[in-house]
Chain A
Amino acid sequence: AQSVTQLGSHVSVSEGALVLLRCNYSSSVPPYLFWYVQYPNQGLQLLLKYTSAATLVKGINGFEAEFKKSETSFHLTKPSAHMSDAAEYFCAVYNQGGKLIFGQGTELSVKP
């Protein structure tokens, strides 16, 4: 069965600092992996996805993620945090039937 685990339910960084949100996956087949972001009082918005093409995936708002098969990881990074990046971030893996399996989420706080 496929699953994802997000390490750290809460991450706090200073504005301008590196953002690193961790996600490890478990999958018996080559996975499709996603990062979604949820801003307060809004729905889930796709940041980026990995679908077996390039291992380094660039998304919106300056985020990127690298698929590392050897480490079963798909960590999300951004070189320089902005106050507007404060949100909850979810890693997800695709399962059959249109089902996404989500991690528990990581809340990102950005300090001025």
Chain B
Amino acid sequence: EPEVTQTPSHQVTQMGQEVILRCVPISNHLYFYWYRQILGQKVEFLVSFYNNEISEKSEIFDDQFSVERPDGSNFTLKIRSTKLEDSAMYFCASSEGGQGNEKLFFGSGTQLSVL
């Protein structure tokens, strides 16, 4: 089965630093997502992206966050100035279509630790 790949698997950074989390979605997929899971909490939606635009974003996705599809294959999540509370597992996902019954394919995640 095709896979969504995420790099790095672990990222440690200092508070206030910028981080970029990288994802390679499945090649024929058109919809892309970022979710995160703070330790011990629910998996939370951050943002969905389609046709080079944000489709939907949550309250968590404030001005410190941005997403980009720079080259037609990668899908990145940037956090401009990290805070301690940004420490979480970040999951990238993609799907062929954007309907409610679509299967989302998730990557294995990037564990971000902000010190």
User: A residues within 8 Å of B by Cβ?
Assistant: 32, 36, 41-46, 49, 51, 90, 92, 94-105
Are B55 and A98 neighbours in the complex by a CB distance under 8 Å?
Answer: yes
Q: Which residues of B come within 8 Å of A, CB atoms?
A: 4, 6, 31, 33, 35, 41-45, 48, 50, 55-56, 58, 91, 93, 95, 98, 100-109
| Chain A positions within 8 Å of B98 at CB level | 98
Pairwise interchain contact A43-B43, C-beta atoms closer than 8 A: no
Return the contact of A49 from the options B42, B55, B103, B107 (Cβ within 8 A).
Answer: B103
Judge whether B95 and A98 touch: CB under 8 Å. yes
Q: Are A99 and B56 in contact (CB under 8 A)?
A: yes
* Chain A facing B: main interface SS: strand
> Which secondary structure dominates where chain B touches chain A?
strand
- Most A C-beta atoms less than 10 A away, residue of B43, B45, B106: B43
Q: Is the CB of A98 within 8 A of B106?
A: no
Q: Which residue of B lies closest to A98 (CB)?
A: B48
Query: In the complex, what distance in Å separates the CA atom of A1 from the CA atom of B6?
Result: 31
B residues in contact with A41, CB < 8 Å: 108
Residues of A within 8 A of B6 (CB): 43
List chain A residues, Cβ under 8 A from B48.
97-99
Assuming A43-B91, A44-B91, A99-B56, is B107 touching A94 (CB within 8 A)? no
Cβ distance A55 to chain B, nearest Cβ, rounded Å: 15
Tell whether, in the assembled complex, residue A49 and residue B91 are in contact, meaning their CB atoms are under 8 Å apart: no
Q: Which residue of B lies closest to A36 (CB)?
A: B106
